[in-house]
Structure 1
Amino acid sequence: MPEIVIDIKNTLIILTAVVHLVLGLLVLRQDRREKPNVLFSLLELSLLSWAISMVFYRSAETVEASLWWVCVLYASAIFIPWVFIYFVDAFSGKKLFTKFWQHIIVAGFPFFLLKSIVLDKTFIQNVLFTTREKIIIFNNSLHLLYALYISGYFLFAYIILFYAYKASSGIKKIQLKYILVGTLVSTIIGAGTNLILPLFGIFALNWVGQVAISILAIAITYAIFKHSLLNTKLIAIELFTALIIFVLLVDIFFANTPRELFSKMGILIAVAFFGKLIVNSALKEIESREQIEKLAKDLQTANDELARVSQAKSDFLSIASHQLKTPLSIIKGYLSLITEGSFGRLTKKMKDPLQRIYISNERLISLVEDLLNLSRIEDGRMKYDMAKANLVEVVTSVYEEFKDQAKQRNIKFIWKPTKTPVFSNIDKVKIRNVVFNLVDNAIKYTEQGSIAITLKTENGKVLVEVTDTGIGIARDHLDRLFAKFTRLSDGNRNFAISGFGLGLYITKLIVKDHNGRIWADSPGLGKGSTFSLELPLG
């Protein structure tokens, strides 16, 4: 084995060889089960062999040694386009080589050229030493075939890459772009210095291809690691650490004394140890980042699905509510006509069932209206007719509507209107519905006792409170009282109250759109409750 000549050219090639070694091991370590990773490692092995054989060829001092290493050099280069085609096919997902005869055809040309170089020894005939560079004497026909093989296989690989790039999208398209551009640049340089110029007898730059081809390796590595900046950071750290260790290792051979030798070995061990710690730290950072990204992606998928389901639900409620409202309104109209005697006189026996049907139909209309309001508010389609209105009149009209119902249930109903009007900029109909809902709930959940409505102003706000002596609310239920589909319970039994539990949720949304607040308070179960509505004066 010749003594290695350490000059600028060989140093660059050796550094490139270290890069190939690190990248090959790095990618293989990421996932050995992935076919593209294994093929890339084989490609790096070919590039490593190609680079090292160039160093030994340039260092050889005899014709025999030069012939030996130049054969290894050209034999190593044969594997590069061969493995590259398989890597491109696997990485792009094309799967072009599925039949045995296809593999035979792909392997035919490299095997023929390997035979002419290694066994027949007809490809390279001699090596001439000159004052500047060695001149390689080829069999011209075989050298031309060799050049066509290298360029043809790379061209075929680039056609696969180009069509895969055109058909892909997202991260895959970015990966293929890096491979296509990075490898194209390096192969153009390598083909020019190591294939085309030697055809004309120019060998002064035949070492440039070994250095330029590192662009190919780095571009592919970058693509394999999914365009991740943190993974690129790890590659840079490992490459930098490996290069430092390599330089320190070479420097050991230039030690002049035992003391200097042990000193340099100590530095090498320390750098290797701390370099390993840094690499492990970066690796843990990458793993943590990947886990976070996976969790974020899963969460986004779940959120998208929830949004889709919620939208489907809202669409269904909107359509179903509209379809239900029309027949219920027609039923209400006919029931009104029947009870008024428009279709003939009714007996007392007929009036009671019809009255119950009318009340049930009114309840259904109210439920459907709640669903429609919910759909409008959540879709942003709720329209407000804002105007200055007297809240005393609004509360009084609600009181008058419930006065008889409270009397029938023996509930003391209290409302003392203020003598002066209290104005606020509101949608009068919708705020009346809010107060109506609060009083309606108070009567529903109060079996005996009293219900009181109060109205007062303070700090530029108007406060309407509905206080009852009903079943009360558990303290831990107050926070979710205004949520969708929430129903009150006294802890022992559920009241037979109709509805979906949407009333308070809808009132909260309406009040919020009026820049107001609504809340509830209760000392506990069985101790009554107070619902408060606050709106700005205006």
Structure 2
Amino acid sequence: MDIINILLTSIIVLNIFLALAVFFQRTSHSAPANRTFTLIVVAIVTWSAGIIYYRYLQDVEHLLALTRLHHIAALFIPVFFLHFVTQYVREIVSVTRIIPLLAYGSACALGLLTYFTASVVVAVSVPPVGEKVVVFGYGYLLYASHFLIFFSIALSLLFFAYLKSRNPAFRKRTLTLFLGVLIASSIGMVSNLILPWFGYFKINWLANFSTFFYVGFIFYAIVRFKLFNLKLIATEVFAFAILSFLVVELFLAETTTQLILRVVLIALVAILGYLLMRSVYREVEQREELERLTKQLEKANVRLRELDRLKSEFVSIASHQLRSPLTSMTGYASMILEGTYGKVSEGVREAVERIYESGWLMAESVEDFLNVSRIEQGRMKYEMQDFDLADLSKKSVEEQIPVAKNKNLTLTFQTDDTGPYTVRADLGKIKHVLTNLIDNAIKYTSKGSISVSVCRLSTGRTARVIISDTGIGFSHETGLKLFDKFVRARNAHEVNVSGTGLGLYVAKEMIEAHKGKIWAESDGEGKGSRFCFELPLVS
């Protein structure tokens, strides 16, 4: 065997390996591209095998039939490639199904014309010296036009997809595929179509070498396009190579014992190879399913974030619209109670007090919603200043003493006498936190006392505020999520039905924005609670 045929055989084997590796992929989304790629390789392998046999055969009659079959096999190479390209670019370029159908029709018609008439290949002669000579007929120009037209259409689709796509990775793959196939097909058409027409047959085998690059570039594009998995290919090729080696060894067995042992070994390797490939298939399918679910979750997460943003905007707008009439309502109710509009009867006074109280509670809820909206949208502003945390706490306690007395509760304030407790913070926000925590302690305590204390930690760098009560308390499980949005203690509704579950969430966000921390403690339900927060002291 001469060196050219050895190289051509090697090219055929490599192409077969690529075709088998792709054909046996099981992922459903890759099946059309896999089949089309396999058909391309089948046509190329058939055509390449024909040229090897053509180079050996000397009988003129058989040579004519082989040459015609060889030319028929070549007809389907641009057709299958065009079909592959339409699948490759379908998400970028819209291609009518008529074009591939015309290509298949052209290949079939020219194939029949080539085999049953002398219009394309008239005769083959075998000279004493040199390459065999093929005589072409009047239909050869039509035959050559088939290659030129359909390769041009396929390459044009690739080029248009390259121009239209905005995906850098896809553009890079498409350009590589375009250039590779352009070079390989140009070499093939020059060495196997144009030069033979002018009677030059010395390099008609050159196109077969270019087929490896042709197949290789398509293979690369499919791999980069993730239409099948390299791990599967490697496993299949490895198993196929071992079995091929063992089959060759089987024919080299010298004794019956060796033959039996090698047959058993082949059976074992085949079983193990099957089990290995099945496990790899399962792993790849699970990974692909996981990737699919991950993409769905990413889309759902994006949608949820958008819905959350729209919800925050709606709450903000609705809260703003509610705050103005509530302010007017509580304002006028307060003026009536103060006697601005004259004396009113006791019955009217009680009704106005209820209006005022309900409006005030509603205004608090609206303010909580507004604060949550500002926090989530990043619009919460903090105006920092130095002030004494103990002084602010004492004032907050004094403001709440009348409310505590109305419920027959004792509200006290104390410090550890290590002041001053100067902090740099937004006075209004810290006042809001203190008022909220003291107000909660009063609401959720039916009897007993509430104490507010301020102390300096042993490090001397942090001040701690503790609001203790003898109220309803909470369980350990509830304490873990008490500062989340819309969360209330399980037994909270028994004491106060008007809570929204937002006050502690807002307090937590405000304290953490000051580089502080806040938490809650309780010995259990019905055993009171302690709400604490810490802020860094000014050095």
TM-score (norm 2): 0.87
Q: Which residue, 293, 296, 305 being the options, matches 1:295?
A: 293
Q: Which moved more, 1:70-79 or 1:340-349?
A: 340-349
**Alignment CA distance shift 1:252-1:13 (3 Å):** farther
Please name the residue that 1:480 is paired with: 481
Query: Structure 1 CA distance, aligned partners of 2:211 and 2:413?
Result: 91
Match of 2:336 among 331, 335, 338: 338
- Residue aligning to 1:370: 368
Residue 350 of structure 1 is matched in structure 2 by 348
Gaps of 5+ in 1: none
1:396 CA displacement: 0.6
Cα distance, 1:440–1:24 mapped onto 2, change above 3 Å: closer
Matched, 1:383 2:381: yes
User: Which residue number in structure 1 is paired with residue 122 of structure 2?
Assistant: 125
Match of 1:464 in 2: 465
| Superposed CA offset, 1:131-164 (max 9, x none) | 7752332225322221111111211222233334
CA contact (8 A) 1:390 1:421 kept: yes
Residue 29 of structure 2 contacts residue 227 of structure 2 at CA under 8 Å; is this kept in 1? Answer: no
Contact 1:13–1:55 (CA under 8 A) maintained in structure 2: no
Aligned length: 530
Q: Distance in 2 between matches of 1:74 and 1:330?
A: 93
Q: Distance in 2 between matches of 1:284 and 1:376?
A: 49
Deviation of 1:418 (Å): 5.2
**One-letter amino acid of the structure 2 residue matched with residue 302 of structure 1:** A
Q: Which residue of 1 aligns with 2:404?
A: 406
Q: Deviations over 1:189-213 (max 9, x none)?
A: 2222222222232223222322322
Percentage of identical aligned residues: 34
Establish whether residue 146 from structure 1 lines up as the match of residue 143 from structure 2. Answer: yes
In the aligned structure 2, how far is the partner of 1:342 from the partner of 1:525?
46
* Corresponding position of 1:8: 6
Structure 1-normalised TM-score? 0.87
1:86 and 2:76 aligned: no
Match among 297, 305, 308 for residue 307 of structure 1:
305
Alignment pair present for 1:438 and 2:418:
no
Contact conserved, 1:21 with 1:48, CA < 8 A, in 2? no
Task: Give the alignment of 1:110-259 within 5 angstroms.
Answer: 110-129=107-126, 133-168=130-165, 170=167, 176-177=174-175, 179-224=177-222, 227-228=225-226, 231-236=229-234, 238-239=236-237, 242=240
Instruction: Please state if 1:512 is matched with 2:512.
Output: yes
In structure 2, list runs of 5 or more residues that go unmatched: none
- CA–CA distance in 2 between the matches of 1:517 and 1:347? 49
Equivalent residues of 1:388, 1:426 under 8 A apart: yes
Alpha-carbon contact 1:230-1:286 (below 8 Å) kept:
no
Map Cα deviations across residues 231-261 of structure 1 (whole Å, 9 max, x no partner): 13433554466467657766877x5966999
Measure, in 2, the Cα distance between the counterparts of 1:186 and 1:464.
80
Contact 1:489 1:495 in 2 (8 A): no
Distance 2:359 2:209 in 1: 86
> Does 2:66 align with 1:69?
yes
Deviation at 1:339, TM superposition (A): 3.3
Q: Which residue of 1 aligns with 2:537?
A: 537
Q: Does 1:499 align with 2:499?
A: yes
From the superposition, tell whether residues 430 and 107 of structure 1 become closer, same or farther in structure 2 (CA, over 3 Å). closer
Shift of 1:265: 8.0
Q: CA deviation at 1:267?
A: 8.6
CA contact (8 A) 2:516 2:535 kept: yes
* Contact map agreement 2:119 2:138 (CA 8 A) in 1: no
Any idea what the Cα deviations from partners look like across 1:484-527, whole Å, max 9, x if unmatched?
Answer: 00122338x63333131100011011111111111111111111
How far off is 1:439 after superposition? Answer: 0.9
| Distance change >3 Å, CA 517–CA 150, structure 1 → 2 | same
Q: Which moved more, 1:117-126 or 1:241-250?
A: 241-250
In 1, Cα distance between the equivalents of 2:113 and 2:489? 91
More off after superposition, 357-366 vs 221-230 = 221-230
Q: Letter of the 1:155 partner, please give it.
A: S
Match of 1:451, SS state, is strand
* Offset at residue 355 of structure 1 (A): 2.1
- Aligned residue identity for 1:474: S
Conserved in 2, the CA contact under 8 Å of 1:60 and 1:66? yes
CA distance in 2, matches of 1:37, 1:184: 21
Larger mean Cα displacement after TM superposition, 426-435 or 482-491: 482-491
Q: CA RMSD in A?
A: 3.4
State how far apart, in whole Å, the 2-side matches of 1:55 and 1:267 are: 34
